[in-house]
Amino acid sequence: MTSNNENIQPLKIKNCAMLNIATGIRAQNLKELKDKLTNIHSESIHYHFWAKKLRPGFEEPEYNNDFATWAYKNLHNNKLAERLSLINPGMFSNIEDLRSKIVEVANLSLEESKTSINAKEGEKFQFTRSEVVLFDTKFAISNPEELVDVLPNLPLGCIYFHFIYSKNDTGDISSWLSQFDSKHNNLTDQISKLDPYFFTLSEIRVKASHIFTDYFKGVAK
């Protein structure tokens, strides 16, 4: 942490869009899904946990990721769907640990079940990966208090980039805040505890806006 706030680089606000790329890899049952998970591209795993938030017309799903939704809708395995839905990708330090957890849950279900349900031909799990395209908004924030007015009006692509895609990187808002002196420790702590996985991008924007507004109302000027 630096004690000289003047040396902190402004937070460059970026927008983003997601390009979906079909891998051509499919799974008809849980065993096939598990086997293909061991080698699937890491970006595919990221996609199936996070991409719903940027898809047009995204609504709060009954299950939080594509694996859980497929298990429920196409394998008709409610118990597996619940277990997969409880996996929070934000709790894993890297994609490989997340991959291992999904495989572990799949193995547990396979050990418990004596039969393997096949999805219909048109309902196989379609592994997809993605590439995130970044757009420079030409807008930058130098002082955390500026976000009180800026956050409520940010496009959802900006919310995705600064709260999800750039986690623990230079574009991550909580990482940027942590560079300031101890005056903003409480604010940094509140933002870092905002778990984006269980909220829509709109909800993240509202919750983060409230955190900044409430915080700066209480900070002595």
- Residue ranges making up the domain that contains 182: 5-15+132-218
CA 127 from centre of chain: 18
Residues 29, 124: one domain?
Answer: yes
Residues 112, 40: one domain?
Answer: yes
Domain termination residue (choose one: 129, 156, 185): 129
Residues 109, 143: one domain?
Answer: no
Residues 52, 118: one domain?
Answer: yes
What CA–CA distance (Å, rounded) separates 162 from 80?
A: 32
pLDDT at 11 over 70: yes
Q: In this structure, what are the phi and psi dihedrals at residue 39, rounded to the nearest 5 degrees? A: -125, 0
Residues 114, 150: one domain?
Answer: no
| Encoded amino acid at 169, one letter | D
Residues 103, 193: one domain?
Answer: no
**pLDDT tens digits, one per residue of 111-137:** 998 777 899 988 999 999 988 899 999
Question: In this structure, how many other beta carbons lie within 10 angstroms of the beta carbon of residue 161?
Answer: 25
Quote the number of domains for the chain: 2
What local confidence, expressed as pLDDT, does residue 64 receive?
86
What CA–CA distance (Å, rounded) separates 94 from 90?
A: 9
Maximal C-alpha separation, the chain: 66
What CA–CA distance (Å, rounded) separates 63 from 69?
A: 6
* Total residues found in the chain within this entry: 221
Please give the model's pTM, rounded to 2 decimal places: 0.85
Q: Is the CB of residue 34 less than 8 Å from the CB of residue 75?
A: no
- How is residue 150 written in tokens? 């800026």
Residues 203, 163: one domain?
Answer: yes
**pLDDT tens digits, one per residue of 38-97:** 999 999 999 999 988 887 655 546 788 999 999 999 999 999 999 999 999 989 989 999
Residues 22, 95: one domain?
Answer: yes
**pLDDT tens digits, one per residue of 157-198:** 999 999 999 887 778 998 999 888 788 899 999 999 999 998
Q: What is the mean pLDDT of residues 137-153?
A: 94
Residues 22, 125: one domain?
Answer: yes
Domain termination residue (choose one: 70, 95, 129): 129
Q: How far is CA 160 from each of CA 37, 51, 173, 197, 217, rounded to the nearest angstrom?
A: 25, 10, 11, 11, 26
| Band of residue 220 on the pLDDT scale cut at 50, 70, 90 | very low
Residues 10, 42: one domain?
Answer: no
Residues 178, 208: one domain?
Answer: yes
Residues 91, 172: one domain?
Answer: no
**pLDDT tens digits, one per residue of 15-43:** 999 889 999 999 999 999 999 999 999 99
What local confidence, expressed as pLDDT, does residue 54 receive?
86
Q: Is the CB of residue 163 less than 8 Å from the CB of residue 173?
A: yes
Domain termination residue (choose one: 129, 145, 169): 129
